[in-house]
Amino acid sequence: MIELFIETHTYNVPENRIDRYLDIQRGVRKIYFKYGCLGYEVFKGANDHWLEINKYKDREHYENVKNSVDLDPEIEVLWNELCSIVEKEKIITRKYYQAL
């Protein structure tokens, strides 16, 4: 059985910035997959609310992918662009282990 580990991020994206936000997310997604992320999904909810889910085999896999992503020079540019759209202080990040 795979011991799945996920990380979620929730935040608000202003309606007039959604196209740019999705362009940024496409770039970020490409980088995460480049370093082995198993899944990178983005969902839109009501009232400008968005949910991002990143999937990994386990906690160790998460740490390895995250460390590689953090060293990629493109990620800093994309992160800064993302922070020009969403308020980084209001991003809620949670991590979950598969229980069953």
CATH number at residue 38: 3.30.70.100
pLDDT of residue 2: 62
pLDDT of residue 7: 98
pLDDT of residue 100: 80
pLDDT of residue 1: 56
With vertex at residue 43, the alpha carbon angle to CA 84 and CA 15, rounded to the nearest 5 degrees, is: 45
Count CB neighbours of 26 within 10 A: 12
**Count: domains in the chain:** 1
The whole-angstrom separation of Cα 24 and Cα 22 is 5
What is the residue range of 83's domain? 5-97
Residues of the chain with pLDDT under 50: none
Amino acid, res. 25:
Q
**Which uninterrupted H or E stretch holds 52?**
strand 49-56
The whole-angstrom separation of Cα 22 and Cα 28 is 10
Sequence-distant (≥ 6) Cβ neighbours of residue 28 within 8 angstroms: 40, 75, 78, 82
